[in-house]
Chains A and B, each alone.
Chain A
Amino acid sequence: MVPLQWYLVLSAALFCVGLYAVLARRNAISILMGIELMLNAVNINLLAFWRYTQPEAAVGQAFAAFVYAVAAAEVAVGLALIVSIYRNRETVDVDEINLLKW
Chain B
Amino acid sequence: MGGETVFNAIWLLTILPELLLLILALIVLGVDLALPAERKRSLGVWTAAGLVIVLLVSLLAPVPEEAAFGGLVRADPLGRVFRAMFLLGGVLVALMSMDFRPLRQDGPYYGMLLFSLLGMCLMAVAENLVMLYVAMELTSISAYVLVGYLREDTFSAEAGLKYMLFGAFTSAVMLYGLSLLFGLTGGTGYMEVAAALREAPFSLAMVGFLMVLVGFGFKVAMVPMHFWTPDVYQGAPTPVTAFISVASKAAGFAVMLRAFRFIFPSLGGEWVALMVAISAVTMTLGNIFAVWQKNIKRMLAYSSVAQAGYILIGVAAASRLGIAAAAFYLIIYTVTNIAAFATVVLVSNLTGSEDIESFAGLSRRSKFLAWGLMLALFSLGGVPPFAGFIGKLILFAGAVQSGLIALVVIGVLNVIVSLYYYLNVAKVVFERRSEEEEEPVPIPVPSRWVLGFTMAAIVILGVLAAPVFNWVWRASGAWF
Contacts and interface: CB of A to CB of B under 8 A. Distances in A.
Contact of B161 (A48, A56, A70, A97): A97
B186 interface: yes
Contact of A35 (B133, B169, B179, B188): B169
Interface in B160-180: 160-162, 164-165, 168-169, 171-173, 175-176, 178-180
B183 A49 contact: yes
Given A42-B172, A67-B175, A99-B155, A94 B230 contact: no
Contacts of A81: 144, 148, 157, 160-161, 164
Contacts of A24: none
Given A73-B141, A100-B155, A42 B130 contact: no
B158 A99 contact: yes
B176 A84 contact: no
B148 A63 contact: no
B108 interface: no
Interface residues of B, number: 46
Nearest to B136: A70
Top 8 closest A-B pairs, CB basis?
A: A49-B183, A38-B172, A45-B179, A100-B231, A85-B157, A70-B137, A84-B151, A88-B154
A15 B177 CA distance: 11
Contact of B187 (A31, A41, A59, A66): A59
Contacts of A56: 3
B129 interface: yes
A70 B133 contact: yes
A76 to B, nearest CB: 9
Contacts of B133: 63, 66-67, 70
Given A42-B179, A46-B179, A67-B175, A59 B1 contact: yes
Interface string B127-163: 0011001100100010011001001101101111110
Interface of B: 1, 3, 129-130, 133-134, 137, 141, 144-145, 148, 151-152, 154-155, 157-162, 164-165, 168-169, 171-173, 175-176, 178-180, 182-183, 186-188, 230-231, 234-235, 289, 292-293, 298
Nearest to A79: B164
